[in-house]
């Protein structure tokens, strides 16, 4: 599964960067990030959670920031239990624009927990809701 989404915010990329470079901050604006605890420099234990009707799905991941520039932030799954795990990768791109900043989120998932058709749509809806949350929080910063 791959999903990409953009949002335009009316602030500079430098204002947005702290909100997207630290997974602990995603709890403030991304509904599917239920918890994100820093465990090392650039490493977090993350719990993703989404509801489908009366059912809730959750997934715990150890995520590592593999790139952190003023324009590109990348997080990748980085488990240390010695087992094989489905890949998760999220890239965030910040591009200066006349009106402020274009934030592009690319999410790639190689497993089957979220990809049973309807769960694809639920995950996409959660990312889209996060765009609204990000815009609200950075514009109020």
Residues in the chain: 141
Which fold does the domain 2-139 belong to in CATH?
A: Alpha-D-Glucose-1,6-Bisphosphate; Chain A, domain 4 (3.30.530)
pTM: 0.89
Q: What is the pLDDT along the chain (141 residues), one digit of tens a residue?
A: 788 899 999 999 999 999 999 999 999 999 989 999 999 999 999 999 877 777 777 889 999 999 999 999 999 999 999 999 889 999 999 999 998 999 999 988 876 655 455 667 777 788 888 999 999 999 887
Which two tokens mark 29? 């604006």
Helices assigned H by DSSP within the chain = 13-21, 118-139
76 forms beta bridges with: 64, 89
- Using CA atoms, how far residue 74 sits from 61, 64, 65, 98, 139, in Å, is 15, 8, 6, 25, 23
């Amino acid at each position: 599964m791959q999903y990409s989404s953009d949002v335009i915010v009316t602030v500079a990329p430098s204002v947005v960067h702290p909100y997207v470079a630290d997974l602990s901050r995603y709890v403030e604006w991304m509904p599917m990030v239920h918890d994100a605890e820093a465990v090392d420099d650039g490493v977090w234990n993350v719990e993703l959670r989404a509801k489908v009707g009366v059912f809730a799905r959750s997934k715990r991941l150890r995520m590592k920031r593999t790139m952190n520039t003023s324009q590109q932030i990348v997080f990748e799954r980085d488990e240390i239990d010695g087992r094989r795990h489905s890949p998760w990768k999220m890239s965030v791109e910040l591009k200066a624009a006349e009106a402020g900043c274009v934030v592009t989120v690319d999410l790639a998932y190689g497993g089957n927990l979220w990809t049973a058709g309807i769960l694809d749509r639920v995950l996409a809806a959660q990312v889209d809701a996060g765009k609204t949350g990000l815009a609200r929080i950075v514009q109020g910063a």
